[in-house]
Structure 1
């Protein structure tokens, strides 16, 4: 009989355990820390949805940020596949990284390459290059808004 009670107690204790996978949405506590962030491209403003990770939180603490984002020219051998799909900007600081092979990049993804290169993708494609996810924007008008070789982009918290 005591074995049965021991098994029941073990079952009850273990049933309270949950999976600790990283979620793509902030928890209630972290939601309070994440402010609404806006991305302004020329005169158009779109909201950014940050993922729940250390990189996004660290970037948010560095805002506001104004960048001249350039089209990747694709001359580097390992980046040839990305030509014409994104804008990039090297920031003057390092961010925490958790680079992974993301597989499919979606239009609207905002990611970190290395520890200091912000990349905004405006086309969807397959890649084997590792990135750290930061967030995403609605991609509807991105090809139009990012059509120039260099665009002025401002990232700021919503007032």
Structure 2
């Protein structure tokens, strides 16, 4: 009889543990689903703009910073950019933008930066630099960029027509 009681108690404890594990797994699954849903709700929507140069449209993925957000408020914007050092085009804005300066070390073709608080810079050559910039974004399709920026002064139109 005592043996049977122990068997019954043992079976009940096993059932209890089994039910507990099943419920715990359900709670973990529900928690994971809820966390994934929150991640989806908090996704950062990549902000994109276009730059038209010599009739060619280039897509620029903007950084998620105050500088880029303020720059987008200026759009649409058509400017004449001058050449500097045969690797970049620049233009001084009338208004200052907020800055988050860093020293990138390596500049890549297609980097779109702010020098100081009002000088837009678009790089069409990769090189090393000791200068500090605030990153606005990166041009995504740079295959023909150097060719399109080859003249000393070029006209670029920036538009906010690619967001989301």
Taking structure 2 as the reference length, what is the TM-score of the superposition?
0.70
Which residue is equivalent to 1:118? 120
Deviations 1:33-65 (A, max 9, x none): x3x311000211111100111111110111111
From 95, 98, 109, give the equivalent of 2:97: 95
RMSD: 1.4
Match of 1:148 in 2: 151
Question: How far apart, in 1, do the equivalents of 2:91 and 2:51 lie?
Answer: 14
Structure 1 position 53 matched with structure 2 position 53 = no
Q: Secondary structure at the match of 1:110?
A: strand
SS of aligned partner of 1:63: coil
Unaligned runs of 5+ in 2: 1-41
Q: How do 1:58-73 residues align onto structure 2 when only pairs under 5 Å count?
A: 58-72=70-84
**Secondary structure in 1 aligned to 2:155?**
strand
Deviation digits for residues 11-37 of structure 1, max 9, x if unmatched?
xxxxxxxxxxxxxxxx62x527x3x31
Q: Which runs of 4+ in 1 moved over 2 A?
A: none
- If you compute each CA radius of gyration, which structure gives the higher value, 1 or 2? 2
Equivalent residue runs for 1:125-144 within 5 Å: 125-137=127-139, 138-144=141-147
1:52, 1:62 → 2: CA distance?
Answer: 16
Stretches of structure 1 that go unaligned for 5 or more consecutive residues are 1-26, 73-82
Q: What is the number of residues matched between the two proteins?
A: 120
* CA distance in 1 between partners of 2:51 and 2:126 (Å): 20
TM-score scaled by structure 1?
0.72
Q: Aligned equivalents of 1:155 and 1:147: distance in 2?
A: 19
Answering whether residue 43 of structure 2 is matched by residue 40 of structure 1, we say no
SS at match of 1:130: coil
